[in-house]
Every structure is written in structure tokens, then in C-alpha cells.
Amino acid sequence: MSKQLIFIDDSGDPGFKKVSSSHFVMAAALFIEPRIATLISKRIADYRKSLGWRDDYEFKFAKIRKDIIVELLEIISSYDFQIYATYVDKTSFRQTAPIIDKEKLYNWTIKELLSMMPLSDAKIEIDGRSSKQYMKQTATYLRREINSDKTKKIQIKFEDSTEDNLIQLTDLIAGSINRSLNNDKTDSKTYIRIIKDKIIKIKRIDQR
């Protein structure tokens, strides 16, 4: 059986300030066949080149044009991979926000995400830029929580998203899901509609 490849990125922020996002989303793209991941990475690189962008120009949901997001999602939607996501609606956390640590919330959402995925022998890559302040603690936490299950063999690695097309893809997926939770946006369903056939599960996680 091939090693599973999983790419994880988030959208929004895990904070509770007035300027913080209303939702925090953690999304994963799961590839059962590694060759599919290789093909998609190449298609993303080719698409970047067709736009006349530098090789190190990053696809990020919050920074690129809507039509580019749509076109790129349409390109990759023909490939075989799976999408899983967890999210927090922070309005339900407001009363306990003073005791919720950003790092704990970040780690919790990843743990919940991985716990609902059919993991066996998996290589997991997480965006190391967005999680820079949490990397060491997150890696220790996940290895303790996930690798305690002896039926699973998990390898965790943090990558710079500017150098990883598949983490950039996951950024677009996370952004699409986050946007779909904001019904006041005119494009709230535009992006998720394109990838809906790839979505296995999106789970809202609440206070315990």
C-alpha cells in the first residue's frame, strides 16, 4: 500500500481579539496515490508559469484574484484526492475566550482533523509559515496524540508554503471553506461549489 500524503493549511486565525476572524478553519488534502500529488503539483507550476508569475510566487486565497482561484480550483478538481476540514465558529467560544490559548486551539483543530481521517501510513506536511510560532509544540503534541495509536504510522513535517505547491492548494481549499461559512459574502459558495465532490467531511468543533 502506498504511503498516504496529507497537506494541511488553515484559514482565519485562532485568536479572539475584536479584529480576529469569525471562523478558524483547518483543512487537509489527502492523496491515496502519491503520483496524483506529483501531477497536481506540476499542473499548479504550469498554471503559475502561464500567468507569467515567478516560480516562487505563492497562490494564497487572501491575496490573489477571484478568477484565478476559480480557474485553478477547476483545473485541480479533475484529479483524484480527498478533502477533510474542521472549523471553529468563534462566536460560540466568546464567553470562555480568556482561557482559550491560541496554540491550544490551533493544535486541537489539527488533532480533530487528523482523528476523522482514515490514516494508516501517512506523511503529513503542515504549512510552517502560518504555524511558525507553534511548530515545535504542535509537532510534539501531534506525535503524542496520534502516534499513541500503534495501528498508525505518522510522519509530520513543516514546510514553507512558498516552496510547496500542494500546501498552496490546501490554502485555497481552506480559504474556500472559510468563505463558504460567511453567508454575507457574495462569493460565499463560488469556490466550495467547484471542489464539493472532493469533500469527504467538514466538521464543526465546539467547546468541550
Each residue's pLDDT tens digit, 116-132: 999 888 999 998 866 66
Unique residue bearing C-alpha cell 515567478? 54
- Predicted confidence band at 16 (pLDDT cuts at 50, 70, 90)? confident
Lowest mean pLDDT among 27-31, 144-148, 175-179: 144-148
Q: The whole model's pTM is what? A: 0.91
Per-residue DSSP letter, 13 = -
Q: Is the domain covering 4-204 a CATH 3.40.50.720 domain?
A: no
Closest CA to 41 of 101, 96, 81, 85: 81
Q: Going by C-beta distance under 8 Å and a sequence separation of 6 or more, which residues neighbour residue 178?
A: 11, 12, 21, 23, 25, 61, 87
pLDDT tens-digit profile of 34-61?
999 999 999 999 999 999 999 999 999 9
> For residues 78 and 129, which has the higher predicted lDDT (pLDDT)?
78
pLDDT attached to residue 4: 94
User: At residue 44, what is the residue type?
Assistant: I
**Residue entry with cell 510552517:** 128
pLDDT for the residue 123: 92
Over range 181-203, report the average pLDDT: 95
